[in-house]
């Protein structure tokens, strides 16, 4: 891990906390997404593997955390064993990992809920009341560090949305499409085998970047993007150029937003440059095949095509969600990474909820 990666910065802060407080055996951070009310594991620092990875839960389903947010206060539990009968998966995993006391605090950035900080110790009663002021101060420092590292990516997304609006960009890249593709992408990334190497931190940045996949379409004329009939050969070549234009645009914007040398900058480039590559090598712009296509591009390709199929376009009606999945299955191993498609199938119920949350009226059923 590079020294400037956010995970390494949190690990360095963990060392400082250990030096000041001692016996803080684990730091866990979950980020909050207000659009979906989801808390998602993001970063951890511990001697061993985190007991919670690729884990999500709705804040509405965790009353204790809701109360901490409402009161903007921290909480300590001296003996986690008293929660042994809890049905919470989070609590069960923490106990099974050997942690016995905890400190929990909401994190804020510019007055908005950013997420939650969890500190765990293998000793009971470790987080004494007299430590709270010190730990609360560290919580603010961690919130500031996370906000600082995520702000450029979020600002970039906002700038792209504003550019589309000012340019009266009215193709399929609506706010709904951007949100759905981002959430479908995260759903696949979370469900993929951990052996793919995606960390919770990687998944969060992929979620932030996925909606920028077609930024280059801003530079494509509306008469091509919105054409109801088949594109001519020349028009199709212009439409395809959105990938190259998007790469150029994002390089300029990344320099402006201070992202050019960030740890995840290449992931953003991969999302834009590779989501039209095909598993069999027949895609564009480079004709990459199989695992030579970066994983970020392979995941976004599945999410993007599924959303394009299941929503109306100037040239077609919306397909049902079932028909969209049938298309993915039929083209696994040719157009799409078969592992990404199989993973998407396992997420079908999740995708239904995403579609309902970020969509216009539900498309016709498969029998319609």
CA distances from 232 to 29, 103, 235, 237, 317 (A): 51, 62, 5, 9, 21
Cα distances (Å, whole numbers) of residue 367 to 169, 310, 319, 320:
34, 14, 11, 9
CB neighbour list of residue 68: distance below 8 Å, 6 or more residues apart: 74, 75, 104, 105, 106, 116
The residues with which 118 forms a beta bridge, in sequence order, are 28, 104
Tokens coding 125: 């009663």
Do 325 and 332 form a contact (C-beta atoms < 8 A)? no
Q: How far apart are CA 39 and CA 146, in angstroms?
A: 15
Active site residues: 217
Q: In Å, how far are 242, 272, 280 from 332, measured between CA atoms?
A: 25, 21, 10
- 85 in helix, strand or coil? coil
Radius of gyration of the chain (CA): 22
DSSP 310: T
Place of tokens 């498969």: 366
d(CA 65, CA 49): 24
Which pairs with CB-CB distance under 8 Å and at least 24 residues apart come from 59-63? 59/32, 62/88
Written as six digits, the tokens of 207 are 């979620």
CA gap 104, 117 in Å, rounded: 6
| Termini Cα distance of the chain | 51
Read off the tokens for 169. Answer: 């960009």
């Amino acid at each position: 891990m590079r020294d400037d990666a956010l995970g390494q910065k949190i690990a360095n802060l963990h060392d400082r906390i250990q030096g000041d407080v001692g016996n803080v055996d684990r730091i866990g951070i979950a980020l909050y997404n207000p659009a979906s009310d989801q808390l998602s594991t993001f970063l951890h620092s511990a001697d061993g593997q985190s007991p919670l990875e690729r884990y999500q839960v709705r804040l509405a389903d965790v009353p204790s955390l809701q109360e901490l947010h409402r009161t903007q206060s921290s909480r300590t539990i001296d003996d986690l064993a008293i929660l042994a009968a809890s049905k919470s998966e989070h609590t069960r995993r923490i106990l099974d990992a050997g942690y016995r006391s905890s400190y929990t605090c909401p994190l804020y950035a510019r007055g908005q809920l950013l997420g939650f900080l969890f500190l765990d110790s293998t000793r009971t009663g470790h987080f004494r009341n007299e430590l709270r002021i010190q730990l609360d101060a560290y919580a603010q420092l961690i919130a500031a560090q996370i906000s600082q590292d995520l702000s450029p990516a979020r600002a970039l997304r906002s700038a792209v949305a504003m550019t589309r609006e000012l340019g009266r960009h009215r193709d399929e890249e609506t706010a709904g499409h951007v949100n759905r593709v981002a959430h479908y992408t995260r759903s696949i990334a979370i469900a993929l085998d951990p052996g793919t190497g995606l960390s919770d931190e990687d998944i969060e940045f992929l979620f932030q970047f996925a909606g920028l996949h077609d930024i280059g379409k801003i530079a494509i004329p509306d008469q091509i993007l919105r054409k109801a009939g088949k594109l001519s050969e020349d028009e199709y070549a212009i439409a395809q150029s959105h990938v190259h234009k998007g790469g150029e645009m994002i390089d300029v914007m990344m320099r402006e937003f201070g992202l050019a040398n960030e740890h995840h900058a290449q992931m953003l480039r991969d999302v834009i440059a590779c989501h039209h590559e095909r598993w069999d090598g027949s895609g564009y712009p480079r004709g990459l095949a199989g695992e030579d296509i970066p994983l970020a591009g392979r995941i976004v390709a599945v999410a993007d095509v599924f959303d394009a199929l299941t929503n109306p376009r100037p040239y077609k009606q919306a397909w049902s969600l079932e028909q969209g999945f049938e298309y993915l299955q039929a083209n696994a191993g040719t157009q799409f990474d078969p592992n990404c498609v199989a993973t998407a199938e396992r997420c079908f119920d999740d995708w239904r909820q995403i579609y309902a949350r970020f969509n216009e009226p539900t498309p016709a059923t498969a029998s319609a």
